[in-house]
Amino acid sequence: MTNGKNNIAIGFLTIGAFMFYGFLLIYLRDFAPGKEEWINSYSTGKHFESRLAHVHGNLFAFLNILIGYLLLHFKSVLANVKAISWLALTRLLMPLGILAEIYFGAPPLFVLIGAIAITSSVLWLGISFLKMKKSL
């Protein structure tokens, strides 16, 4: 059963993973053979898509930490905590889907599922807070 703890743990692990991915991007920009080609493709192709994955991975990881904290803190007064938690965790499909597109030529299905999941979880949590009858 997830009630926010998994969101916090996976959020921190995801931030760590995408930090390492950021180091790879720095390597590709500054030290890799052919770095000039990588730099020249800053706003197109794999370079642009990889930066999107890096940014969205870290943003969604932070959102999962925040959502997890709020779910843990307000679990006794919020409805649908488990569903919101799982939707927020499903968001990981978006940055992983972007990476799968870049490196494996996967279709954007996972990107869309992840985007819908994180948007749904954030909106559902906001509505749950609006409907909350008892506060701590």
Q: Is residue 34 part of a domain?
A: yes
> Quick one: what percent of the chain has pLDDT higher than 70?
96
Please, which pLDDT band fits residue 1 given cuts at 50, 70 and 90?
Answer: low
Domain that holds residue 75: 5-131
Q: Is residue 105 part of a domain?
A: yes
Statement: residue 7 has pLDDT above 70 = yes
> Quick one: what percent of the chain has pLDDT higher than 90?
80
Q: What is the mean pLDDT of the chain?
A: 92
Query: 46-72: per-residue pLDDT in tens?
Result: 888 999 899 999 999 999 999 999 999
Specify the number of domains making up the chain: 1
Rounded to an integer, the average pLDDT of 82-88 is 96
Q: Is residue 136 part of a domain?
A: no
Query: 86-124: per-residue pLDDT in tens?
Result: 999 999 999 999 999 999 999 999 999 999 999 999 999
Q: Is residue 123 part of a domain?
A: yes
Q: What is the pLDDT of residue 136?
A: 56
Q: Is residue 115 part of a domain?
A: yes
Q: What is the 3-state secondary structure (H, E, C) of the chain?
A: CCCCHHHHHHHHHHHHHHHHHHHHHHHHHHCCCCHHHHHHCCCCHHHHHHHHHHHHHHHHHHHHHHHHHHHHHHCCCCCCHHHHHHHHHHCCHHHHHHHHHHHHCCCCHHHHHHHHHHHHHHHHHHHHHHHCCCCC
